[in-house]
Structure formats: C-alpha cells, structure tokens
Structure 1
C-alpha cells in the first residue's frame, strides 16, 4: 500500500466483508442450523477488524486530510451492510477529482 487512503480502502473491504460474513453466513448458521459457536468466532473476528477500521479512520483523517464528512461517513457506513463498498466508490471518485 503506497498511501493512507489505499490502506484505509483495503481495511474497509476487509471490515465490510467481515460484516457480511457475520450477517449472511454466521447468523443463519446460528438460527437455522443451531451452530452458535460460528457467531462467537466470526463475531470476535469482526469486532477486532472493526476496531482496526476505526483506528484506520482516525489515521486516514489526519494523513489524507480529507473533509470531516468523510470521517463521519466512514464511521456510519460501518454499520450498514455493503456500506463500505459504496464508500469505497465515493473515495475513488474523490481521489480522481483531487488528482485532477
């Protein structure tokens, strides 16, 4: 990773993927197949990744010097399934506009 924005975007994909894994795989396994241990493992993994994601938000806020609305948006989308992937698209557009 060459810069803070790319590192943040990568972490967004990882954290967003862990949320989808928790919601669409682990939770159905718990409630439909009686496997609560899957949620324990995936939930702990997601919690750790979420913590790293929040730290990356703080790091990227200062390193990239992006607008405050991106900081608030980055935190908000972490709670929405597929939100990180939508944010990534916006960051890519913002990165291109800033480079021009």
Structure 2
C-alpha cells in the first residue's frame, strides 16, 4: 500500500503543478482551454484517488486523525504532496 500511496502522491503533485503552472496560464492568457480541460480532469481524479488512498493508508497504519489531516492539507498546497512524501512516507520505505 505504501508504494501505491507514494506513487499517487507524486502523480497528484505533478498534476497540480501542471494544472496551475502550465494549463491555467494557457487557458487565461493564450485562450487555449483544451489542455486545461484534460489536465484538470486528470488532476481531479488523482486528487480524489489521493484522498481515498490516504484514508485507507492511515487506517492500515493506525495513524491518528492529525497525520491524515497533514496528508490532506499537503494535497491542497503546491509542492505539498512532495513534502508529505519526504516527511512522512519516504522514511517508511
């Protein structure tokens, strides 16, 4: 489960950066909305997957609500999932 969660966290973080770092500027500044639609959908799916896998992972590890909350907040911040991977998940691998 750890490998799945780490992979999901990294992919979610990459999709977040692509969405707000590349496709949003293309949509608003260059009037090219198509990449934003594709990456936005992928990011939405990966975000939901990340949260579901985080819940399962925390229950499996018997982690408390505080750790889950930290993982959830990490998904809302740019580079947050990379930080969570380094601080909470990498040490378990």
Asked if TM exceeds 0.5, the reply is: yes
Whether 1:31 and 2:25 are equivalent positions in the alignment is no
Aligned length, in residue pairs: 92
2:78 counterpart (75, 81, 98): 81
Structure 1: unaligned runs, 5 residues or longer: none
CA RMSD of aligned residues (A): 1.4
- In structure 2, relative to structure 1, the CA distance for the partners of 1:69 and 1:61 (3 Å cut) is same
Structure 2: unaligned runs, 5 residues or longer: none
2:61 counterpart (64, 76, 89): 64
Q: Deviations over 1:28-47 (max 9, x none)?
A: 11122110122111111110
The 5 Å alignment of 1:17-56 reads: 17-56=14-53
Contact 1:5 1:64 in 2 (8 A): no
Cα distance in 2 between the residues matched to 1:34 and 1:81: 24
TM-score of the pair, normalised by structure 1? 0.84
* Larger CA Rg, structure 1 vs 2: 1
Contact 1:15 1:53 in 2 (8 A): yes
Structure 1 runs (4+) greater than 6 angstroms displaced? none
Cα distance in 1 between the residues matched to 2:76 and 2:38: 19
